[in-house]
Amino acid sequence: MTPVVAADAGWSEWPAPAKLNLFLHIVGRRADGYHLLQTVFHLLDRGDTVRLRLRGDGAIRRIDPLPGVGAEQDLAIRAARALQASSGTTLGADIAIDKRIPMGGGLGGGSSDAASTLVGLDALWGCGLGENRLAQIGLGLGADVPVFVRGRSAWAEGVGERLTPVDLPPNWYVVVDPGVMVPTAALFQAPELTRDAAHLTIPLFLSGATTVNVFEPVVRERHAAVAAALDWLARHGAARLSGSGGCVFVAVASREAAQAVVRECPPGMRAWLAQGVAESPLLGRRRAWDGQGG
């Protein structure tokens, strides 16, 4: 596809959904020190919106930079620059993100924003690199980026990059943000972290095998607000930490049940409902773009 750059080119919007880790086991370590994981990503119908606008001068500009996050740490900017380098395009982009996913919450916000930037700019710039190449570029940005590029709820292994789509029920979840940003690097270095959790298979997981999030006891001990959120949410079901936290979640029977739990959220926490989806809305957006030429 040949891109069209106009002086009055407008913005296009690309959904960037959140995810939940339904469990998270560390099952070993590679020779280079990276931890080997097993997890299941359930994509959600709620998330950020990445807005993109073409530039003809090759510049990559974030219109709404995150406070305290420089351009070299901004995953959306890094994604755009990585796509430029891989595709050889001379085009640039303005980037703006409507943030709804809490930063440092274990819901994949930065990774999802990066993936939507890759997919959106691949379309806008007419690169045509395809899902596999975009996922490869995404892996260079972070282990969670490929699942958002591929856009399907999935079983993940390795450092999180070996993905197998799984059929999950479209559960309703209540997600609670206790307002804590948890630094992931510190958790991986925690001496009390379990690094030899049970090694599972997809059939075992789907049959209801016992699973945990190995980060949960570490985060609970170090962050009282997360512990309080887990304790409150446990009144409504099997509450669990997502990723490395600090957001926690519980599956409930229906939208109405989720709404009832959200209404009871204690002061100092923020709760919302979301539904798990098999396919990311980002894929539908890309198909619509390809089918309609934008």
Which of the residue ranges 58-72, 136-150, 189-203 would you say has the lowest mean pLDDT?
A: 58-72
Q: Which of these is catalytic: 94, 113, 144, 177?
A: 144
Residue 90 burial (10 A CB sphere; 0-12, 13-18, 19+): exposed
Instruction: Sort residue 250 into left (φ over 0), alpha (ψ -120 to 50) or beta.
Output: beta
The CA distances from residue 127 to 84, 86, 107, 130, 287, in Å, are 9, 9, 29, 8, 15
Q: Which of these is catalytic: 19, 48, 74, 113?
A: 19
The answer to whether 48 and 100 have CB atoms below 8 angstroms apart is yes
The CA distances from residue 248 to 101, 147, 214, 241, 273, in Å, are 13, 20, 14, 4, 12
> Is the pLDDT at 67 greater than 90, yes or no?
no
Is 99 annotated in the active site? no
pTM: 0.94
Alpha-carbon span 263 to 207, nearest angstrom: 33
Looking at residue 294, its pLDDT comes to: 59
Alpha-carbon span 115 to 144, nearest angstrom: 9
- Closest to 78 (Cα-Cα) out of 150, 148, 140, 15: 140
Alpha-carbon span 167 to 39, nearest angstrom: 14
Looking at residue 22, its pLDDT comes to: 98
> Is the pLDDT at 238 greater than 90, yes or no?
yes
Looking at residue 3, its pLDDT comes to: 40
Alpha-carbon span 118 to 129, nearest angstrom: 10
Looking at residue 9, its pLDDT comes to: 52
Looking at residue 293, its pLDDT comes to: 63
> Is the pLDDT at 284 greater than 60, yes or no?
yes
Tell me the percentage of the chain whose pLDDT exceeds 90. Answer: 87
34 falls in which pLDDT band (50, 70, 90)? confident
Query: Which position has the token pair 């750059």?
Result: 5
- The CA dihedral of 115, 118, 123, 126, to the nearest 10 degrees, is -160
> Is the pLDDT at 242 greater than 50, yes or no?
yes
Query: Residue 235's CB: how many other CB atoms inside 10 A?
Result: 10
- The residue type at 288: A
User: What value does the mean pLDDT take over residues 246-272?
Assistant: 97
- Specify the DSSP element, H or E, that contains 128: none
Looking at residue 7, its pLDDT comes to: 37
